[in-house]
Structure 1
Amino acid sequence: MSDTADPEEQIDETTTWPDLAIGLYDRLTGRNAEIVYEFEEMSVDVPSGTGDDVEHANWQLDGTVRVTTRERE
């Protein structure tokens, strides 16, 4: 990529899922965009904290999360 490229067109390399989600949201905000996540029988073990001896809560996800962006008037 050249140094003269438009910053809007530059895309940094993402290394984590949260970075990817934030990047998508930032890129689409103000463009009347919609991000839809659909989950079918997804299971997530959510830790109660950090460290070796933490407990986990098991969350079951089955449905849709919809994020809609729009410009303020």
Structure 2
Amino acid sequence: MSDDITTWPELAIALYDKLTGRGAEITYEFDQLDVYVPSKVDADPKSAKWTLNGTLKIRTRDAGAAS
């Protein structure tokens, strides 16, 4: 992976790019997830706290990948 990755989204993209084409699936599981949602795009916005009491699963699969 590249040394210029500086954020979590960049890391996730780089990892997915590396694994796709190999029949890979990336699964993220979160329990008791707290998300702070900003009220607007601003330098110092107020946030609302959303709490997920359960499991959120996010799966990514490349439909064109070889099995």
Per the normalisation by structure 2, the TM-score is 0.71
Task: Please name the residue that 2:14 is paired with.
Answer: 23
SS of 1:51's equivalent in the other structure is coil
User: Of 16, 21, 24, which residue of structure 2 is paired with 1:33?
Assistant: 24
- The answer as to whether partners of 1:31 and 1:71 remain within 8 angstroms in 2 is no
In our comparison, the structure showing a higher alpha carbon Rg is 1
- The answer as to whether partners of 2:36 and 2:47 remain within 8 angstroms in 1 is yes
Q: CA RMSD in A?
A: 2.1
Q: Gaps spanning 5+ residues in structure 2: where?
A: none
Alignment of 1:3-22 (within 5 A): 11-13=1-3, 14-22=5-13
Q: 1 CA distance for matches of 2:63 and 2:24?
A: 7
Is the strand fraction higher in 1 or 2? 2
Q: Percent identity?
A: 47
**1:57 has 2:48 as partner:** yes
> Would the alpha carbon gap of residues 66 and 42 (structure 1) be closer, same or farther in structure 2, given more than 3 Å must change?
same
- The answer as to whether partners of 1:30 and 1:70 remain within 8 angstroms in 2 is no
- Runs (4+) of structure 1 exceeding 6 A deviation are none
